[in-house]
Amino acid sequence: MPVDRSLKGPELLLAAAAEVRSRGEISEARSRQVRWVAGEYGRALAHPDHPLDIDTEAGPLFRRDAVDAYLDLAGRGVLRVRQAAAPASGDHSRQIRIEVLALLAKAAGVYADLPPQPDPARKQPVPKRARSLLRSSLEEAADQAALPGQIRMLAIGAMVADTGARSGEACAWRIDDLAPSLEEVRTVRRPQGWSEAEAYVELITLSGLSRAALRRWLIERHALLERVQGSASALWVSLHANHRADHAIPAGTPLETRGLYRAWTRAVEQTNQQMAGEPSWVPLPTRMEQLRRGVSPKASPAPRQPDAELAVVLLDDVAACGRALAAVRRSGEPDTTEELEARLACRKALRAAWAEGIEHAMQLSALVDAGLTDTADLTAAGWEPALLDAVERAAGWGRPSKAKTV
């Protein structure tokens, strides 16, 4: 919908921002940036050092002198709503502002005379030796007694080191994204600058370190969420109550990108301080970005949404394998060759269903109907016990086997 050309100054910028943010291809991260730049430029128009004022029409707002004045004020940090210890911003923020100004000008239907974007700083990949030391530090920290924040940090660090996930991609992980065995994770890749429509899915192999760290975190997470109402599907949740704007946010709330960064930095600083006296300790990086640089994960493509017809076939296969395993386990002879073969077949069927994107709850319902009703049975079928508890909690009412008795 075209922006009303009779609007001026801040009102026009906000209207243009609303139009940009309404587009389906605009990601959540870009939407926040558009809202930020529109508000910031609106404040610039009220600043005495800007040549224009709040009654300026669309065209002059995007002329070079006006844009340069805004970028200068923004770069000095004088347009911030909240004061910061280091108010000045760098080239990355300037680049985002220029990109967003181009979107706003297009939405307003005017030409934008924008300065060239700064070249992004080249980042050298982390040498293999440094990555090996980083992983060794994660393993060494995993062997120590840890607070909940450190347990969460280890799981985040190990998974990011395995997957090379960006912070937004890591925040998007849900319980259903974990394979039943915890051997893989489904990751929706959203490279910087790509639209939502261009996102794609990968299934990425997790290391033994990640699996061990995940088990530890899922147990801690389950204990935390016993005190929280409602369902809980996000993998990373807050440990303490907090505030967002004027609202109280309870513990157990899904972490957003900034919260993930803060949680990582706080736990890393604490861990580095505790481990400083160990002769083999190499400090963990306080910036998560350093974990993913140079990562070449073992990945395979996967669909964004499951194919309905294929999903029926895969769930039937899960049920058939479940019935076969249940029959063998009822025979009373554990660990026979027949049972081991039935376990393997069940695990393969579960993995295929998960890879297609079929929800954990649907797979578990099929197994329960097949006669695998308790944790021991489901573990034999290939489910990690800590993940079973997380699936139960995410459903809000309990595991499918328990739901049938309600």
Give dist(CA 210, CA 138) in Å, integer. Answer: 10
Q: Given 1.10.443, 1.20.1070, 1.25.40, 2.60.98, which CATH number is that of 128-301?
A: 1.10.443
Nearest alpha-carbon partner for 187 in 164, 158, 155, 215: 164
291 phi/psi in degrees, rounded to 5: -70, -35
Residue 351 burial (10 A CB sphere; 0-12, 13-18, 19+):
middle
202 in helix, strand or coil? strand
**Which residue, chain included where needed, has tokens 């909240």?**
82
Give dist(CA 315, CA 319) in Å, integer. Answer: 6
Give dist(CA 371, CA 361) in Å, integer. Answer: 15
Q: Residue 332, by phi and psi: left (phi above 0), alpha (psi -120 to 50) or beta?
A: left
Query: Taking the domains of the chain in order of start, what are their residue ranges?
Result: 9-108, 128-301, 305-395
Question: Across-strand partners of 188?
Answer: 201
DSSP assignment string, 9-56: HHHHHHHHHHHHHTSTT--HHHHHHHHHHHHHHHHHTTSTTSSS-TT-
In single-letter form, the type of residue at position 134 comes to L
Give dist(CA 7, CA 167) in Å, integer. Answer: 37
Q: What is the crossing angle of helices 360-369 and 385-395, to 10°? A: 110
Nearest alpha-carbon partner for 268 in 129, 154, 130: 154
Q: What is the pLDDT along the chain (406 residues), one digit of tens a residue?
A: 678 888 999 999 999 999 999 988 787 778 889 999 999 999 999 999 999 999 999 999 999 999 999 999 988 888 887 655 445 667 778 888 998 999 999 999 999 999 876 555 555 555 555 556 566 767 776 666 678 888 898 899 889 989 999 988 999 999 999 999 999 999 999 877 677 778 899 999 999 989 999 999 999 898 888 766 656 899 999 888 776 666 777 777 888 888 888 888 888 888 888 777 667 777 888 888 887 877 888 899 999 999 999 999 999 999 999 999 999 999 877 788 999 999 999 999 999 999 999 999 999 999 999 999 999 999 999 999 999 999 988 876 444 444 443 3
Taking the whole predicted model, whether its pTM rises above 0.85 is answered as no
E strand map for 190-265: 200-205, 242-244, 247-249
Whether 70 and 112 have beta carbons less than 8 Å apart is answered as no
Cβ contacts of residue 310 below 8 Å, gap of 6+?
356
Helix (H) or strand (E) holding 125: none
